[in-house]
Amino acid sequence: MKPRKILFGLTSFMGLALLAGCGGSNKIRVEFWTGFGAGVNGTLNPLIERFEAANPEVDIVYESKGGYPNLLQAIKQSISNNAYPHIANGYPDHFAEYANSNVLLNLDSAGFIKNPETGVDLTEFWPDYMKENQELVDNSIMGLPFNKSTEIMVVNQTFFDVAKKLDDTIFVPATWQDLAVVGPKLKAVAADNGWFGKLVKHDGTTVAKPENPTTAELETLKAEVAFDMFNVGKADDFIPFSWDSTSNFFITIIRQWGSLYTERGATLHSGTLKFHEGENRVKTLAALQFFKDLYAQRLVGTPQNFGESLYSSVPFKQGRLVMTISSSAGVKENLPGSSTDFPFDVSIAPIPYNAENPTAKYVISQGTNLALFRRGKATDEKTRLERDAAWRFLRYLTYEVNHEFGKGTSYFPVTDGSKLAVNEEDARYRDYKLYSDFLNATDNTSPMETAIRDTARLQANVYQDAEQAWLKFVDPAFLGSARVRDEIQYVITKLFGGATPEGALDEVVAKLGDFQ
């Protein structure tokens, strides 16, 4: 029998008595920290308010640390004086550090998972998301999945549609080998037709961008212009493809070429590099050489090649590239919207894979989990009440309203709602139905909602489709794996900065000697 949801009240008479003894003035305070920005908080805050309305004895004190590195640092600093929150989200790498400091609660042994009234059915969570929380510490469940994403390729579809009218061999690449063929054609069609520094019409002809057009002139141009390449001055400024995360870039391509990244040992405290030794090294270097060759042709780059520190969204919207791999959760950041008078259409595609190793169609699994922290003394009634309230809030976000959260943020739901019995009276089924209806809608919507829907469909119909054989992965976390990830991001940067594959690899490996 599935657990029954409790919306109101505490789980013990003693807890109610304590509240009554305080005259109702003292609520159970639950501190909740995340690394979310304003976009996600716009969806999260109303959900927090709904939880508090349904649980009036609880006060959720929410604080965003403005980014995951800031969140990790804040929690690490708080551990020294036991000032960490009751609940926080984080990546497996981060949770490994918290678990090593013994500040995380094992949700299973604490009695939360199997609680007959407020427990959860673990079989309803997507297995690959649950695995992250079950393999951190043996025989333990150190968190539940919360906000999950992957990587997708966002395409300037209008560019491809116009380019194909002039060269019908042009197509959106499905493999890296496709990119090696199509990339030069994209550069050639733009150069041969004088697109650089101009406005490009739907028929492939161009018009100069006026400095101060009147409203009437602008409206006339909008009807004629397909996209704006004013910011692309010359051929070398046009790099068709970019990848936001250099860490994910390196980790994904070496897997697609058959290498391994890291390997966790028998315990949380042991982990080693694998990509630099033996046959793995040969495959890693082959992957790096392939992309160095693409870079030499100015076909592929990273945000740094466009003068950006983290993301390719700005140059993408400027027409300086036409394909970008980004987090599915950040798809809306790549929409041209109000950034130009001549917005283009985007399409969402899987990331390319290695055609020479088609059984290794790897795409990374991203996003965070939610954990409870060992705040307070377990023997104190106040601590028990706080942990109970924190657990119910964690359950609420991961198990009760996660589909709604995903719809509003473009994160993917962490539970498989199709396993729920059809019951319009059940709040969890209604949450799933809300997302399912959104996924299947065919009406015209805003570009943002369309992009979020198309991304969700890609996840559901491609990445999670067994027949298409995509392999979503996350490497097991160990103490120090966050530092490994921080260092390997520089392999691609050094490679594109002039280093040889061997030089770029060996320089980074030398800094990680304690993981060899």
| 264 alpha carbon, distance to own chain's centre | 23
pLDDT score, position 25:
58
At 74, list the tokens. Answer: 């804040």
Q: Is the dihedral of CA 460, 465, 470, 475 positive or negative?
A: positive
pTM of the predicted model over 0.75 = yes
- Between CA 279 and CA 441 the distance in angstroms is 48
300-301 and 206-207 as β-strands: parallel, antiparallel, unpaired? unpaired
- Between CA 146 and CA 402 the distance in angstroms is 7
Per-residue pLDDT tens digits of the chain, which is 516 residues long: 333 233 333 333 334 434 433 444 589 999 999 999 998 999 999 999 999 999 999 999 999 999 999 999 999 999 988 899 999 999 999 999 999 999 999 999 999 999 999 999 999 999 989 999 999 999 999 999 999 999 999 999 999 999 999 999 999 999 999 999 999 999 999 999 999 999 999 999 999 999 988 999 999 999 999 999 999 999 999 999 999 999 999 999 999 999 999 999 988 889 999 999 999 999 999 999 999 999 999 999 999 999 999 999 999 999 999 999 999 999 999 999 878 889 999 999 999 999 999 999 999 999 999 999 999 998 999 999 999 999 999 999 999 999 999 999 989 999 999 999 999 999 999 999 999 999 888 886 788 889 999 999 999 999 999 999 999 999 989 999 999 999 999 999 999 999 999 999 999 999 999 999
- Between CA 424 and CA 119 the distance in angstroms is 21
Q: Domains in the chain, ordered, with CATH?
A: 13-150+367-440 (3.40.190.10), 152-365+449-515 (3.40.190.10)
pLDDT score, position 18:
44
* ∠ CA 402-405-411, rounded to 5°: 95
Instruction: Please answer whether residues 297 and 291 qualify as being in contact, where contact means their C-beta atoms are separated by less than 8 angstroms.
Output: no
Instruction: Please answer whether residues 407 and 42 qualify as being in contact, where contact means their C-beta atoms are separated by less than 8 angstroms.
Output: no
Instruction: Please answer whether residues 105 and 376 qualify as being in contact, where contact means their C-beta atoms are separated by less than 8 angstroms.
Output: no
Instruction: Please answer whether residues 292 and 501 qualify as being in contact, where contact means their C-beta atoms are separated by less than 8 angstroms.
Output: yes
Burial letters for 227-249: b for 16+ Cβ neighbours within 10 Å, e otherwise? bbbbbbeeeebbbbbbbbbbbbb
